Structure formats: structure tokens, C-alpha cells
Chains A and B, each alone.
Chain A
């Protein structure tokens, strides 16, 4: 029915089947949307947050998707600035995934701030000393850049592209893409860093506070590194999931493996510094404020197992797996490493958000445990559904994967 709209030379599932799939996604989205409306109407008291946990599931989700969305800027940087040609096989997808992650993060933030109508105050009354101001600036600007990067892909839609003006516009945008990739890389590096800096500057929170370099605490750099160490493999995982769902080959193994190698190398660098940082924090900083390493952990909810899982199981191990060619080139092991890597970075964001404020900063205070409630889950899942809808639409109608026809229809089989 809509086959005229499909990308050149591709096949897609039947329209009915497609509608069922979309109806499912829209259903999930609407459930989350219902939760979001309740939050906006009744106030944030509706969530599981309280005066102890001003930050919770939403901030964790935000930080995690933003880190995972880092595939967009980093791959863009490598492709357009360092001219690694191989990456053009996956660059479109990284842009779409990045767009979904950032747009989603912004949607969650609208729910998370108490006065969403005042969100623009970050521009109007900026506090140049606040890491969050930098985050607000960079995130909003970067989302704009992502939209600009997304547009040419939309313009390349087969029917649209027949219009000469659109064709020329798309071409011109492509020519200038290196500029946007550069701006995007700059903005994205800064806000990934500032998100880390947000925690590192908390002088009253010994779990997160870090001394640092110039105005930036170490966490600034750690967040950038961990994002570029996981974003690329997240994009690969999305591509692989799409292959499983559609039953087609979309990205060649060489490209996937290259993305894994890039992420793995960055992850190695990150783990080196993360371990150093943890060591310096435990033995250098903590004693100066009268605390010990053991004081920082509590029970099962905030036990040391979290730290070990993050650093060893989801850090060092996938890093080694991804940089070792013989392991990386075995798909099952590669995907396992990629999944561990993504869990590791999400866990890191969770620990920095929740454990930081769960720690009883006043010695006579006690640890508190935070549980998000359904409203927070549902609105976060809404974002995932939103991403799935965008990606499904893009896949069906836009030429996302340059190799799709070659890998599926001309293989001579």
C-alpha cells in the first residue's frame, strides 16, 4: 500500500503487520503519556521522589540515555572530521539514535523540573558557575544540531527527493555536514562532561565530590570517556536488534566490529582513569573529611557489589573483550561485551545519582533507600517507545542503511 515510499530497492513487511507493530508501540507510548499528564497536572509529589531524593529514576534515565546516545557525536566526529570512511555504513543510524536519546531526555526533563514553564530561565538568568547551566545550553543546542543532521536523511526519502529543490537542499546539507558534526562534537563533549561535573562539584557529598583539573572535577572527564566508550556499541546493539526484528542484514560485520573496536579502546582509557580516580578518592580525599571507603557503602541496596559490578564485570571485562580481535569477532561474545558495557555506564549514572544522595552526610543521619514508582517507570518507558516509533518510521521510509540492498537482495543467494 505504501510501497512507493520505501527506500530504493528495498522490501518491507506488509502494511497490516506494520500497523499492528505501530499500534503496540503507540499503546505503550500512550500509557507513559498518561503518567506524564498526571505528573504535570498533580505535581511531582506523584512520583517516588522525596526531600531526601530530589534526584532519582528520571535523572538516572536521562544520564544513561544521553551517555548511550553518545554514538551520534563520536561517530560523527570520526566520520566527518577524522574521515573514517567505513563509518558511513552506520552514521545515519547513530544520528537517529542520538536524536531519540536527546529528544527523550528533554521530554523527561520537562516532567522532572518543578516549573517546566520556566525552563528557559536557564538562558535568561544563567548562572555561569553552575555545571547545570552548561548542560542546559549544550543539550538544547545539541538537540538542534541533531535535528539538522537528521533533516537531510528525511529529505532523501525517495518521493521527496524527486523534487529538485529538496534534492539540492539535501545535497547542500550533506556537503556542510562536517561543520555540524564539529559543532555537535564540541557541544556534546561539553555537556557529557558537565553532567559528570554536576556531581563532582558537590562539596557536601563525599560520595561524588572530586578535586580536579582547572574548574573541572575529574568526573567531568570520566563522564565524557564513559559515554564515548559505550555510545558506539549501543548503536550497534540497536542495529542488531533491528536486524533480529526485520530479519534482514542491515550493517556489515566489518562496520560493527570497527564500532566495537572504537568503543573498546575508549572504554580501556576510561577504565584506566576510573580505577585511578576511585583509588585516589578512597585513599586521598575521603580521609580528609573523616570518612573511610567502607563508610560509603551500605547493605545490599548500596553495597560494594555495585562498585565491583560497574568496574570489573561491566567495565574491565567488556573493555578487554572489545579490544581483543579474536573475541570481538565472535558475534555472541561481541554482543555480550556490548551489553555489559551499556549496563556498566547506566549503572555508573545510577550510582552517581542515587548513592550520592542516599549517603547520610550528617553523621547522625541514616541511609535512605529510594524506590521509583510506576509513574516514573511509565514515563521513562514512554521515551523508549517514542524512540522505537521514530526508528521504525525511519527504517520503513528512509534510506537509513546504505548497505541494505547489497547485503540482502544482491547476495546471489
Chain B
């Protein structure tokens, strides 16, 4: 297993016991990153009528949701029944499944900070990375992006809009990282040693219950450093060996067990 190590390692710790499943993180991400909503009709494309309508927002297998909230259940009936919500951004894996498979180096993990990048103008849309990512963190632009009239005026100038036919995914709000580094330079601080909170992602920012904490996992001054080492911290399907930079924590054992393929006889890596 080859894990790429960096001096700075941006990561997240998501407290599942605090998450209410409200979906604010999904909305925050959508707006921050100019993610096109699904619109059924394309007023500019008459040929569309000859095949099928574009997908609409209710088709969850076609929508672009870099941040996705999953619902977990302990599988018991009423008085004992419990649910939990698990927000899933890209795990920015240390040993990413998606990077080595890309035939054109459109995705790479090389920048200080350990964020897995995605270069849209280079992506040929083969979707091999989607087949590789077990977290379903990658999304394909099935249709030309289209914003309902008026909504296009609300686009953020900081994030590029992706064309049809390329794969996209969460990049820990990379434009915010660039902004934070620029601000540090302006303020005469070291951009390679940002203070806790100087760079924060939209989903962590917007979360009403503060379930998402973001920071440098390698920096003891950042809250995530200790949180990730907490007694109840775990990572999703760790046994596969992708070494995610996103940690979860829950005091409930059944939640932690669902975080990995649990096999009573299984050894584990």
C-alpha cells in the first residue's frame, strides 16, 4: 500500500451523533461550487425530445451531489429502532483508488495539503475513476449544465463551471484554500501554516449543529488533529486500505460497525 504523505494533510472529522441529516452541507456545497441543478427540460435543445428527458432532481443516481448524506439504520424495530446520518464528501484518500486508474492524469494527489485534484479540461470522461471509487464520491456530467433563468446570476466567480462529459467531485472547496493562502500572504503570515479555521469548507461552515470539523490533521493546533485520534473515531471501509482523510466519530457501536464491512471471522489488514 502506497500512501502519499504531505506535511499538511487537510481532513475532516464528522460527528455522526451530532448530524441531524438536515442536508445543509449538501446545499452549501452546491452553491459554493457552482454545481448545476438537474433540470428536466432543456429549452435550447430540440433534439432532446427524440430520446428521453433530461434527468430531474428526484433521480438521485443522476444528480451531482459532491456532498451526499446517507441514512443508516440499526435494523431493529420500533422501540429499539435508531437512525443516524452520514455525510459523505470525497475522502481525499491517502491511497486513492481513483488516481492511478485515470489514463490521462486528470486526477492527481500531488499538492501540499493532500487534496485529490480533478482537472476538468483534461478529463476525457471515461469514468474509470467512478468505477474505482468505492465511496461513490465521483460524479459525471451527464447533461450540459443548465441553470434556471436568474439562477445563473448567482454563480460564484471562484469555481469553474464544468462542461458535459467530465467527471467532478468534492475538492474541499479548493478556491477557499487559495483564498485563505492569499489572505495569509497579505497579512504577512505563513500560508503553509494556516491557523485553525483560517481555511474552512462550505459544508463545515454551514452545518447548524457543528457536526463537521475541518482542519490540518497533521497540525496539533488544529481541532481535527485530536478529534481524528478520538476513542470513537473511525473511517469508512478502512479495511479496503484507501486511507481516507475524512474521519467519522460516533459513540454508538452499531454506527461504527456499519462504517466497515464487519465479518466476525474476518482478520482485517
Chain A contact residues, CB within 8 Å of chain B: 38, 41-46, 49-52, 54-55, 112-115, 118-119, 121-122, 124-127, 129-133, 135-136, 198, 201-206, 287-292, 295, 356-357, 361-365, 368, 373, 375
Q: Which of B243-267 contact A (CB under 8 A)?
A: 258-263, 265-267
Q: Using CB atoms, name the residue of chain A closest to B163.
A: A115
A43-B165, A55-B127 known; A204 and B55 CB under 8 Å? no
A-B contact count (CB 8 A): 197
Contact yes or no, A43 B266, CB < 8 A: no
CB distance from A228 to the nearest CB of B (A): 25
B82 to chain A, nearest CB (A): 13
A-chain residues with CB within 8 Å of residue B140 when the two chains form the complex: 44, 51, 54, 114
CB distance from B187 to the nearest CB of A (A): 37
From known contacts A44-B165, A114-B164, A287-B267, infer whether A130 and B131 are also in contact, taking CB-CB under 8 Å.
no
How far apart sit A203 and B133, CA to CA, in the bound complex (Å)?
9
Instruction: Give me the interface of B with A, judged by CB distance under 8 Å.
Output: 45, 47-48, 50-52, 54-55, 59, 61-63, 70, 72, 86, 95, 97, 100-106, 122-128, 130-136, 138-144, 163-167, 236-237, 239-242, 258-263, 265-269
B219 vs chain A, min Cβ distance (A): 28
B150 CB, nearest partner CB in chain A, Å: 24
CB–CB A42/B47 < 8 A: yes
- Nearest-Cβ distance from residue B209 to partner chain A, whole angstroms: 21
Report Cα–Cα, A295/B262, bound state, in Å: 11
Q: How far is the CA of A206 from the CA of B134 in the complex (A)?
A: 9
- Complex contacts, A130 vs chain B, CB 8 Å: 100-103, 128
Tell me whether A203 and B95 are in contact (CB under 8 A): yes
Report whether A45 and B143 are in contact in the complex, using a CB–CB cutoff of 8 Å. yes
A133 to chain B, nearest CB (A): 4
Instruction: Check B127–A54 contact: CB distance below 8 A.
Output: yes
Q: Is the CB of A132 within 8 A of B62?
A: no
Question: Which A residues touch B127, using CB under 8 A?
Answer: 54-55, 114
Kindly provide the distance from the CB of A52 to the nearest chain B CB, expressed in whole angstroms. Answer: 5
Cβ contact within 8 Å between B51 and A46: yes
CA–CA, A38 to B50, complex, Å?
8
**Of the candidates A46, A51, A206, which one forms a contact with B240 in the assembled complex, judged by CB atoms under 8 Å apart?**
A206
Whole-angstrom CA separation of A51 from B60 in the bound complex: 9
> In the complex, what residues of B have CB within 8 A of residue A290's CB?
239, 260-263, 266, 268
Complex alpha-carbon distance, A54 and B134, angstroms = 12
- 11 A–B contacts from the bound complex (CB under 8 Å): A54-B140, A115-B125, A130-B128, A202-B131, A204-B97, A205-B132, A289-B239, A289-B266, A290-B260, A290-B262, A363-B258
Q: How far is the CA of A384 from the CA of B70 in the complex (A)?
A: 42
Q: Let me know if A129 and B100 touch, CB within 8 A.
A: yes
Complex: how many Å from CA A401 to CA B104?
A: 42
A115–B241 touching, CB < 8 Å: no
B97/A203 in contact, CB under 8 A: yes
Q: Give chain B residues whose Cβ lies under 8 Å from the Cβ of A38.
A: 47, 50-51
Tell me, in angstroms, the Cα distance from A133 to B106 when the chains sit together: 12
Say how far A18's CB is from chain B's closest CB, in angstroms: 33
Write the nearest CB–CB distance from A352 to chain B, whole angstroms.
11
Please state if B135 and A51 are interface contacts (CB–CB under 8 Å).
no
Q: Whole-angstrom distance between the alpha carbons of A362 and B236 in the complex?
A: 8
Q: Is A127's CB under 8 angstroms from B103's CB?
A: yes
B133 contacts which of A45, A112, A204, A295 (Cβ < 8 Å)?
A204
Q: Closest Cβ of chain B: how far from A217's Cβ, in Å? A: 12
- Could you list 20 further interchain pairs (A-B, Cβ under 8 angstroms) beyond the known A114-B127, A129-B100? A41-B45, A43-B141, A43-B164, A44-B165, A49-B142, A50-B62, A114-B166, A121-B104, A125-B105, A130-B101, A132-B128, A133-B103, A201-B100, A287-B267, A288-B268, A362-B237, A363-B260, A364-B70, A365-B70, A373-B52
Partner of A114, one of B100, B124, B267: B124
What are the residues of chain A within 8 A of B138 when measuring CB–CB? 51, 54
Interface centre among A45, A124, A289, A363 (most CB of B within 10 A): A45
User: Once the chains are docked, how many angstroms separate the CA of A287 from the CA of B263?
Assistant: 8
| Complex: A368 Cα to B59 Cα, angstroms | 14
Q: A121-B122, A202-B101 are in contact. Are A361 and B70 (CB under 8 A)?
A: no
Kindly list chain A residues whose C-beta atoms are within 8 Å of the C-beta of B163. Answer: 115
Whole-angstrom distance between the Cβ of A212 and the nearest chain B Cβ: 14
